[in-house]
């Protein structure tokens, strides 16, 4: 993580974090509270967010607001924008998301569509609403979550990989537009990370980076780069896959995802 003293001046005083109750979003909450950011924590599980808020306020003396929201609901982001109207948000971390694994025709179509709603539609709405506010301020940052599987198709996790391809392309597209208005957009493309993600997706994960590695790497890259692959594993796997033609990447990812699919899904 960068020790740039101007970081809070550029991206503070408050950060809104979606998916803050678990995994990567939670690691961002801790890392930003450590830097003195006031926080707005968003996820569905209010009790988990409240426990985290109490802990972070006590440890770091920051103000923490909790908003329980199911962001896959099309009404959720407009409501979130109203609820945060008076807050001085300089940084948006859009970490809420989930995946699935298995043969596409065997997966529940409602869950797959819900994934598109959360991973894509809510991200567009968040970036539009908060992008306007940040552009008006003339400064700020937006951190979005792509994935190692976001750079080509991935059989046995086809919808998830497509949502992450959407986010990668969307982030690359809005970054120069918002950059010209003083707002940095970063796409984070991790490899496997040890969080609640695999259990919900019904995936078996072997080696994995820690969520703290992802948060630290992303905050160090914010304002300096457009895409970051935090952690050794993401760099190694990303580099190896990039050597292959696109069709080869699809074959390799299919073999990997087929091996990882099959665990029972939670949540």
Ligand X SMILES: NC(=O)c1ccc[n+]([C@@H]2O[C@H](COP(=O)([O-])OP(=O)(O)OC[C@H]3O[C@@H](n4cnc5c(N)ncnc54)[C@H](OP(=O)(O)O)[C@@H]3O)[C@@H](O)[C@H]2O)c1
**Binding flag, residue 83, ligand X (CB under 6 A):** no
Distance separating alpha carbons of residues 8 and 30, to the nearest angstrom: 15
Mask for 18-57, x = binds ligand X (CB under 6 A)? xxxxxxxx-----------------xxx--x---------
Which of 14/21 has CB closer to ligand X? 21
**Binding flag, residue 230, ligand X (CB under 6 A):** no
Measured from the CB of residue 188, what is the shortest distance to ligand X in angstroms? 7
Distance separating alpha carbons of residues 205 and 212, to the nearest angstrom: 17
| Out of 129, 196, 238, 254, the residue judged to bind ligand X by CB under 6 A | 196
Contacts with 50 (C-beta within 8 Å, 6 or more apart), sequence order = 66
Which of 79/136 has CB closer to ligand X? 79
Contacts with 178 (C-beta within 8 Å, 6 or more apart), sequence order = 131, 134, 135, 142, 184, 185
Counts of helices then strands in the chain (DSSP H, E): 11, 7
**Binding flag, residue 265, ligand X (CB under 6 A):** no
Measured from the CB of residue 89, what is the shortest distance to ligand X in angstroms? 17
Q: Angle at Cα 233 formed by Cα 214 and Cα 160, nearest 5°? A: 70
197 touches 209 (CB < 8 A): no
In the complex, the residues that contact ligand X under the rule CB under 6 A are: 18-25, 43-45, 48, 69-72, 95-99, 118, 145, 147, 190, 192-193, 195-197, 200
């Amino acid at each position: 993580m960068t020790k740039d003293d101007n970081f809070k001046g550029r991206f503070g005083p408050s950060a809104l974090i979606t998916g803050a109750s678990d995994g990567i979003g939670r690691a961002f909450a801790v890392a930003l509270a450590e830097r003195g950011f006031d926080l707005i924590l968003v996820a569905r599980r209010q009790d988990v967010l409240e426990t985290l808020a109490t802990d972070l306020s006590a440890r770091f003396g920051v103000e923490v607001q909790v908003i329980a929201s199911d962001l896959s609901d099309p009404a959720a982001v407009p409501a979130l924008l109203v609820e945060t109207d008076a807050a001085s948000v300089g940084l948006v971390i859009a970490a809420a998301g989930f995946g699935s694994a298995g043969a596409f025709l065997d997966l529940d179509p409602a869950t797959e569509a819900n994934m598109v709603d959360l991973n894509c539609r809510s991200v567009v709405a968040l970036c539009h609403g908060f992008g306007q506010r940040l552009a008006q301020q003339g400064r700020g940052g937006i951190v979005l979550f792509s994935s190692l599987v976001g750079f080509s198709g991935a059989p046995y996790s086809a919808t998830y990989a497509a949502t992450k391809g959407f986010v990668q392309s969307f982030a690359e597209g809005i970054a120069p537009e918002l950059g010209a208005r003083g707002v940095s957009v970063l796409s984070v493309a991790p490899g496997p990370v040890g969080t609640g993600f695999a259990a919900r997706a019904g995936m078996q994960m072997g080696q994995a980076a820690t969520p703290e590695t992802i948060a630290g790497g992303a905050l160090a890259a914010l304002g300096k780069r457009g895409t970051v692959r935090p952690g050794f594993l993401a760099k190694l796997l990303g580099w190896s896959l990039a050597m292959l033609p696109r069709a080869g990447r699809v074959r390799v990812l299919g073999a990997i995802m087929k091996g990882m699919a099959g665990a029972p899904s939670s949540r």
